[in-house]
Structure 1
Amino acid sequence: MPAEWAPHERTWMAWPSAGYTLGDTDEEVESARRTWAAVARAVAGFEPVTVVATPDDADLARRYLTEGTDTPFAIEIVTAALDDAWMRDIGPSFVLGRGGELGAVNWVFNGWGGQHWASWEHDAQIATFVGEQAGASVIDSPLVNEGGGIHVDGEGTVLLTETVQLDAGRNPGMSHAEVEAELERTIGATTAIWLPRGLTRDYDEFGTRGHVDIVACFSEPGTVLLHWQEDPDHPDYEVSRAAEEVLRASRDAAGHPLTVVKVAAPRTLADDEGPVDWSYINHLVCNGGVVACVFDDPNDEQALATLSAAYPGRRVVGVDARPLFDRGGGIHCITQQQPLRPLT
């Protein structure tokens, strides 16, 4: 599995059409549509975007996605049945073979461990659909997993959490070794770095039970960006420090120790539902750019500067991600990159 900063063919997204993600009130529905469209247009500033929409929503999606100024790259719409719109999790994890062949890993998707509010009859088919649309060879896996549950350096190292991969609702009875063997078979990961858990809010009703992509990510081989909660009154203060301890004791697939870059969490600590899990880690690296979460928070500017330093030569664009986090995710969660096949 190539690193996210490797060249992309395009980015895939899904259009919110139903359920808790879309919302119940007119205001919630409008907020979801405008936020998904804003992310798609920001990504299309750097590379092509393909959005999966239900047949009934295709024209509506097209109107929102093309509203305003033209994007430098095209936003294409393809149609399929959907339950939800978190493409990172329902879509495939793309990989490249030794000869540059494109593969699409089809994890088992069961609604983030069988959450009582989730439906996944259609979403469980999206990885295969997207893989076939991309012209990839679909690689079926028996592992219950989502794209937000892993992050790779492109050189054989994968970050993951104990509470996702070993979740009784996902892979009951599986061992670390069994998970690692399947990740080696599917995405070529030879070294797994297990963080103990995710951020606290991610264990609430609409959470994923600990996705790694709001906690830590690679920005280059040997360097990990870490969500850093600085306020001891926030429950993620201890989560950040436990993750740091593991990362500083770990080595990557090349045998090198990791450099840990702390990315200060937003200063906003809570909303009406309790402690927030707002995270600048949940960004998407694109061709020549980074689409990053912002929160109208005093730490936004500092975070964008940190990301600019972490990805030199890329333009960093912020999109207000509060409507996404209200629904349980962020920008990385609604996007999935397709790597560019190398020239042969």
Structure 2
Amino acid sequence: MPAETEPQERLWMAFPVEGYSLGDSAEDAHEARSTWAAVANAAAEFEPVTVVVDPRSTSFAKKYLSTDIDLVEAPLNDAWMRDIGPTFVVDDNGRLGGVDWIFNGWGQQDWAEWDKDAKIGSQVIDLAEARPVATSLVNEGGGINVDGQGTVLVTESVQLDPYRNPDLTRADIEAELHRTIGASKVIWLPRGLTRDAMTYGTKGHVDIVATIPSPGVLLVHSQQNPKHPDFSVTRDLTALLADSTDANGNRWQIREIPAPETLFDAEGPVDYSYINHVVVNSGVIACAFNDPADDAAKEILAESYPGRSIVTIDARPLFARGGGIHCITQQQPVARTP
């Protein structure tokens, strides 16, 4: 699996369909569609974007999305392409492949439906003309983060979740990550952020905790207010990462990105995170929260991705629905034609 900073052929997304992401009111639906579309339209300024659209939502998608964006129709339960779509890989001959993870609603959660979303991975693989990489591992793209050199970050609360992979050991999962995405070093974090373990969460995806902007460098979410439960969580996670090495045996250069000053919303402690951005060709589409910390976070991202334009989008509507910008996108790397 290449690093997300490698050249990309296109970005894949899905468009929200009726359900909890659209909400119960016209205002909620407009907010969701507008935010998904803002990310797609921003990314389309940097590279081709393809959006999977449920036939019930095609008319809305055409209204909200730029005409430069390609639309393909397929039945959907939801719109979190990072998790329902494939993870793209490239083999030693430069051929594009797609890992078709088993998707079961983030561990069979009672609020989730996934009969349609579980088929999206194979459909996107076909549309991308990639070679399918089959697996029996229940996993989501938001549950892994790689450096393109063999290192992968995961969380015990996701890959070892008894409602995802009840019969697999840590060694089993490491072997399958090696076979499917070429991981030679798996770094296990015990959990994710507090809100992500609550309703509409993923049970601990790593992509709001830490990411690898370049080999040997980690960007890590840091909650700096003791009033938030992630104050201790992020300190423990950062200490664990500081004591680890990458696949090349090197210790990490860790750059902490302070969490927004906003601590709570109507549902409890927020997991607002600047870590949950997506890298595109020559750019980064990043989260903003109308928060005093937004500008400092943007500066850290600019320093971590030199030469790339940093475009920020208000991600609060995404996080209210259980994810962020990285969660609704999936990059397809450039591959050589055999």
TM range (shorter): over 0.9
Contact 1:95 1:102 in 2 (8 A): yes
1:90-123 Cα distance to aligned partner (Å, 9 max, x none)? 0000000100110000000000000001111110
Structure 1 length normalisation: TM-score?
Answer: 0.97
Distance 1:117 1:267 in 2: 29
Matches within 5 A, 1:70-149: 74-149=68-143
Task: Give the secondary structure class of the aligned counterpart of 2:20.
Answer: helix
| Counterpart check, 1:35 vs 2:35 | yes
Q: Which of 213, 218, 234 is 1:219 aligned to?
A: 213
Matches within 5 A, 1:258-269: 258-269=252-263
Distance 2:260 2:336 in 1: 38
1:162 maps to what in 2?
156
Contiguous gaps of at least 5 residues in structure 1 = none
Distance 1:224 1:119 in 2: 34
Identity across the alignment (%):
57
Following superposition, the deviation at residue 295 of structure 1 comes to: 0.3
2:9 maps to what in 1?
9
Task: Give the secondary structure class of the aligned counterpart of 2:220.
Answer: strand
1:225-247 Cα distance to aligned partner (Å, 9 max, x none)? 00000111111011111111111
Distance 2:54 2:321 in 1: 20
Task: Give the secondary structure class of the aligned counterpart of 2:34.
Answer: helix
Q: Which of 263, 271, 281 is 1:287 aligned to?
A: 281
Contact 2:154 2:189 in 1 (8 A): yes
Following superposition, the deviation at residue 173 of structure 1 comes to: 3.3
2:63 maps to what in 1?
63
Matches within 5 A, 1:183-194: 183-194=177-188
Task: Give the secondary structure class of the aligned counterpart of 1:206.
Answer: coil
| Counterpart check, 1:340 vs 2:334 | yes
Contact 1:166 1:173 in 2 (8 A): no
Distance 1:57 1:83 in 2: 12
2:293 maps to what in 1?
299
Contact 1:150 1:159 in 2 (8 A): yes
Q: Which amino acid is the alignment partner of residue 133 of structure 1?
A: L
| Counterpart check, 1:47 vs 2:44 | no
Distance 1:275 1:63 in 2: 34
2:174 maps to what in 1?
180
Following superposition, the deviation at residue 343 of structure 1 comes to: 7.0
- What root-mean-square deviation, in Å, do the aligned CA atoms of Structure 1 and Structure 2 show? 1.0
Q: Which of 245, 253, 270 is 1:251 aligned to?
A: 245
Contact 1:97 1:103 in 2 (8 A): yes
Task: Give the secondary structure class of the aligned counterpart of 1:126.
Answer: helix
Contact 1:15 1:36 in 2 (8 A): yes
Distance 2:175 2:62 in 1: 42
| Counterpart check, 1:313 vs 2:290 | no
Task: Give the secondary structure class of the aligned counterpart of 1:141.
Answer: strand
1:233 maps to what in 2?
227
Contact 2:95 2:337 in 1 (8 A): no
Distance 2:57 2:110 in 1: 26
Distance 1:113 1:211 in 2: 12
Matches within 5 A, 1:11-26: 11-26=11-26
| Counterpart check, 1:196 vs 2:217 | no
Q: Which amino acid is the alignment partner of residue 101 of structure 1?
A: R
Structure 2 length normalisation: TM-score?
Answer: 0.99
1:275 maps to what in 2?
269
Distance 2:130 2:310 in 1: 30
Following superposition, the deviation at residue 342 of structure 1 comes to: 3.8
Contiguous gaps of at least 5 residues in structure 2 = none
1:326 maps to what in 2?
320
Aligned length: 338
Distance 1:126 1:50 in 2: 13
Distance 1:189 1:239 in 2: 26
Following superposition, the deviation at residue 272 of structure 1 comes to: 1.1
Q: Relative to structure 1, is the Cα distance of residues 103 and 343 closer, same or farther in structure 2, using a 3 angstrom cutoff?
A: closer
Distance 1:9 1:229 in 2: 35
